[in-house]
C-alpha cells in the first residue's frame, strides 16, 4: 500500500521546483522501472504490483531497494499515468557533469527544445543510434519531467544529458559542428568523418543566431512536399540515420 505521505511526495516531484530541491524524480510503468533497476541510477523506493514484485524480487533485493506492493488504482492515483498496472519508482538525479565529447564521437546538441515529448523522443532516438551524450541548453525541457522520462522509454538510463550554456561549450569544442537549417547543404551529400556535434534548434525558431556562429556545416533535409517544417525529433532521427549510414 502507498501511504498518503508518499503519494504527497510523488505528486511534489512532478513539479520541477521540488525535483530540484530534493534531487529526486519519478519513473512510471513496468518497462521504464525495469530499465531503471538495471541502470546505475540510485533507486530509492518502488511501488509495484504483486506480479512485478514476484518477477523482479531478485533485482529488488540485490539493489537493496525499499518497495511496497500496490494496486493498479494506487499506482495511477499516485503517478501521472492514466494507466499503470506495473510499477512506479523514485530515484536520485545524477550530477550535471560535463561529458568528454572527443572529435571522433558524435553528440547531439539541443538549442532550446521546449517540448517534453520532443526531448524524450530525441533521447530515445539518440540511444537507438548509439549516441551517448546529449548537450542541452539551459532553456531546454527538464530531463526529469515525467513526460520526458516516459517518452524516452527507458533510454534516459543510457544517454547522458548535460545542461549548460551552449556558447561556453562550443567555444571550447575543437571538432566539427553540424547545424540543422532550412537552407543548408543536403545532408545526403555531406562528407562525414564520424565525429562532431549535431545541433538541433528550437521547434519554432530553429538554431539561435548566437549558436549558429559556431556551426561549421549547415545541413538540411531536402523537402519534397509542402510541409512548412519537420518535427525536431523526426529531423534528428533522419539526420542521425544518414550520418550512421555514411559511417558504416
Asked if the model's pLDDT at residue 246 lies above 80, the reply is no
Confidence of residue 194 (pLDDT cuts 50, 70, 90): low
Asked if the model's pLDDT at residue 206 lies above 70, the reply is yes
Q: Which residues contact 124 (CB under 8 A, 6 or more apart)?
A: 151, 152, 153, 155
Angle at 214 between CA 201 and CA 175, to 5 degrees: 105
Give, as one character, the DSSP assignment of residue 42: P
Asked if the model's pLDDT at residue 195 lies above 90, the reply is no
Q: Which three cell numbers, joined as nine digits, stand for 244?
A: 550512421
Gap between the Cα atoms of 240 and 88, Å rounded: 32
Asked if the model's pLDDT at residue 145 lies above 70, the reply is yes
Q: What is the pLDDT of residue 248?
A: 63
Mean local confidence (pLDDT), 30-53: 95
Assess contact for 112 and 137: CB atoms under 8 A: yes
Q: What is the pLDDT of residue 82?
A: 84
Confidence of residue 74 (pLDDT cuts 50, 70, 90): very high
Mean local confidence (pLDDT), 215-240: 93
Residue ranges of the chain that CATH labels 3.30.1330.30? 4-92
Confidence of residue 102 (pLDDT cuts 50, 70, 90): confident
Angle at 204 between CA 202 and CA 209, to 5 degrees: 55
Residue ranges of the chain that CATH labels 3.40.1280.10? 106-247
Q: What is the pLDDT of residue 83?
A: 84
Asked if the model's pLDDT at residue 247 lies above 80, the reply is no
CATH of domain 106-247: 3.40.1280.10
Using alpha carbons, list the distances in angstroms from residue 11 to 3, 7, 57, 164: 12, 6, 26, 27
Q: Which of 178, 174, 200 is nearest to 100 (CA)?
A: 174
SS3 of the chain: helix, strand, coil, percent, to 5: 40, 25, 40
- How would you class 134 by CB atoms within 10 Å of its CB: exposed for 0-12, middle for 13-18, buried for 19 or more? buried
CATH of domain 4-92: 3.30.1330.30
pLDDT tens string 14-39: 999 999 999 999 999 999 999 999 99
Average pLDDT over the chain, rounded to whole?
Answer: 93
Give, as one character, the DSSP assignment of residue 248: -
Amino acid at each position: 500500500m502507498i501511504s498518503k505521505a508518499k503519494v504527497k511526495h510523488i505528486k511534489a516531484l512532478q513539479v520541477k521546483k521540488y525535483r530540484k530541491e530534493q534531487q529526486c524524480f519519478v519513473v512510471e510503468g513496468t518497462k521504464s522501472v525495469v530499465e531503471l533497476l538495471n541502470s546505475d541510477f540510485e533507486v530509492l523506493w518502488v511501488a509495484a504490483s504483486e506480479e512485478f514484485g514476484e518477477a523482479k524480487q531478485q533485482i529488488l533485493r540485490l539493489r537493496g531497494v525499499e518497495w511496497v506492493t500496490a494496486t493498479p488504482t494506487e499506482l495511477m492515483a499516485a503517478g501521472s499515468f492514466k494507466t499503470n498496472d506495473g510499477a512506479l519508482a523514485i530515484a536520485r538525479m545524477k550530477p550535471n557533469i560535463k561529458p568528454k565529447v572527443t572529435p571522433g564521437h558524435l553528440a547531439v546538441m539541443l538549442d532550446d527544445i521546449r517540448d517534453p515529448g520532443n526531448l524524450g523522443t530525441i533521447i530515445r532516438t539518440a540511444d537507438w543510434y548509439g549516441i551517448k551524450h546529449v548537450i542541452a541548453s539551459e532553456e531546454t525541457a527538464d530531463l526529469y519531467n515525467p513526460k520526458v522520462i516516459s517518452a524516452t522509454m527507458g533510454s534516459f538510463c543510457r544517454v547522458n544529458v548535460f545542461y549548460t550554456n551552449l556558447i561556453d561549450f562550443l567555444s571550447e569544442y575543437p571538432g566539427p559542428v553540424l547545424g540543422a537549417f532550412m537552407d543548408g547543404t543536403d545532408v545526403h551529400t555531406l562528407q562525414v568523418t564520424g565525429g562532431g556535434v549535431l545541433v538541433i534548434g528550437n521547434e519554432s525558431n530553429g538554431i539561435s543566431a548566437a549558436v549558429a556562429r559556431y556551426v561549421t556545416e549547415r545541413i538540411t533535409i531536402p523537402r519534397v512536399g509542402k510541409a512548412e517544417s519537420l518535427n525536431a525529433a523526426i529531423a534528428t532521427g533522419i539526420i542521425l540515420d544518414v550520418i550512421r549510414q555514411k559511417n558504416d
